[in-house]
Structure 1
Amino acid sequence: MHTPVRYITVTAPDGEVIGYAWGSATDVGWIHRAASSSSAYKAGMEWCSKVQDAHRRGLAPAGVLALFSREPGAGPVTEAPDLDTVEELARVVTPADDQRLLDQLKPADHPAWQELAEAFDALTDEDRAVKWGGGHRTSSGAIHVRFPIYSEPLMRAVRALWDLGAVTPEYRWTGNPLPQVPPSGRLDPADAVRAATAVLRSERFCDGMIEDAVRTGLLDAVADSLRAWHADPAIARCFAARRSGAGTGHGTPAPAAVRPGAGERAVRPRQTVFLCRYCGAGPAADVAFRAHRGLLFVLGFRRMDGPMCRVCGVAVHRALTTHTLCWGWWSPLSLFLFGPLTLVRNLLAVRRVKRLPEPGPGTLGERFDPGRPVHRRLRAYIALVPLSWLLSLIAAAVIRGG
């Protein structure tokens, strides 16, 4: 039986989705993104603690989500048919996730690339054969634990992967399945980093993982894939385009990389986040909208930023602009400075949003409702009260001066 849940999407300031806080009728929880960065994972641990602490203090699940949906980086409360749907969102791997792993590798002109090629080219079938030691009973009666004995050429190849940066803490291998060799024999370059990290780190906890990777061809596929990517970075762009086109990523293929000349460092492509942080649709523009409230000498400011699609951006603009028109005039500083400045900045931001085409399907939840235009909202005309008052003061001053 599928139980409906509600959730909020939490994003980092750079637009990366950290994870999802969810709530059912009786319980709350947190789901990390499996492919998120190490910094996002740490931020997710803090969110997990906050969400669970609020529930333990007696706040109902719906109240927990409503409370934290107002936090910076949190999206609106969204309904899902079941928890599996939210977990499926958390398994999404974006081109930005792939690029973060590739950025851990050494520059194109680093000697580690040459060492990787020489180490794997020198391997023979005999070098790949693994013997096992131990397993015998000692004089004390204890049985010595069996352990693999790897040849020196094979360990040289393993060290080359470490030195290259292919084993990285940016990939949480314990929470992800081990990549398998596809029928083509060529891994996605980022998957090659994932496989190298999973195999070589897990060897420290489970003897024989390197032997399994050699026997299945995974270790050679890792090296071959990284060497092919190093020789032609366009391969990485092809994989990124295929992933994005398949609908499994939150982004577009990265721009073309610059091929390095002699003595130059490779310029790696960078992923630009362009999906709406509120509904997950694209295209989106990275904009910020503001609201201001001025009550005598008490000033208040609010900001909503991040990539926004055309629909969500217009909705945020209308809501915050109407709020400013209603409440942003009731102090001297607000009347002459902060109120007009906020309106102008919002106008410039919404022009960028309106130039976008209509967004595609959302992946994070329902879009904001733009509602009525600002000029058709009664609250927007409350600004006429202080403006009329100002004009009357000016008129009175002119009359007295005359």
Structure 2
Amino acid sequence: MLDTLPHNITSLPFFNEEHGDLVNGLNDWAGLRLTNRVHHGNVDQTCQSLVKNLGQDGWLRWCVPQAGGGVTPELDSRSLCLARQVLGYHDGLADFAFAMQGLGSGPISLFGTPYQQAQYLPAVAQGQAIAAFALSEPDAGSDAAAMSTRAVRDGDSYRLNGQKTWISNAGIADFYTVFAVTEKDDVNGVTAFVVDANTPGLVVSERFDVCAPHPIGSLEFNDCVIPVSQRIGEPGRGFKVAMQTLDVFRASVGAAALGFAQAALDMAIKRAQNRKMFGATLADLQITQASIGQMATDIDAAALLVYRAAWQRDVLKKRTTKTAAMAKLFATEAAQRVIDRNVQIHGGLGVKVGHPAEMLYREIRALRIYEGATEVQQVVIARETMR
């Protein structure tokens, strides 16, 4: 169970009663269903099982709006962040499964036609279809203007050719939200499409391992015929689709980092209070107390940035490009510091493969890179500040 921040986080003025119910209900569920963040066996099957269970028990309904079978009229950033914080505390892979359902279907939730929403979102909410977000390419990650995947109009269809990589859920997704150049060679010519996994010409060309295992790989599109009805939003406006989707989910990356950091803090406190050393406990040493004090402060500061950004989007209806970037940057970097201190407090156990402290250390590292690396967030914040 969560021992530190979440028991009172929803008392902050960012939230309403429904948010408190979400935290309490999901935490109770996770305490029963997610008993070990260190997974063994087939990672694809584990993720598929997590999506199924999250969907069957109603938690994926927070990933889509009411029009697609969701809980809230529109995507609620605060709910997404709270859910990821709770899941991240218990199980990084469960957080991943939840987040990708939201991110992969996010463009449809925000910009999709009524037909697209009816076709895809209910299955996402019920855990019956797995979603994926396909933006990055071998030579176009943070620099979306370098995108080379092309979609050429051919009557009532587009012909899609190119490559995508670093695609989470590659190989197990039922559909991919894909971004391709359609009009001209700049970001204003990018268009978004929803592409079914069984589309002829779509191939999962590579699967690779990362330090915190999850399904990830590369895609190839070889003359894939995509009906115009699968286009998301207006042609040439795909960069807007991608960025507004990322604005929603970028703050939630910080929330997942919060969950990881909370787990590390609770783990560190328990270890320090029980570890005998020099005739006392590790917790009696002032140097340990200093570490725990800094860990707790980092977590609370990160929480305020994360939920300010989510509140700003939900309640003030403002752009969150700057505040979401701040939340993502600070929360992931702070969580790295907290988790590193937890490893240090655990000593040798902290680097033993299969120990939860070691698993957290591997899980946090990717969050400082995906959905815009720390350095990219710094550039975004600087540009927004100097506007």
Could you state the TM-score of these two structures normalised by the residue count of structure 1? 0.30
Name the larger-Rg structure.
1
Could you state the TM-score of these two structures normalised by the residue count of structure 2? 0.31
Answer 1 or 2: which has greater helix percent: 2
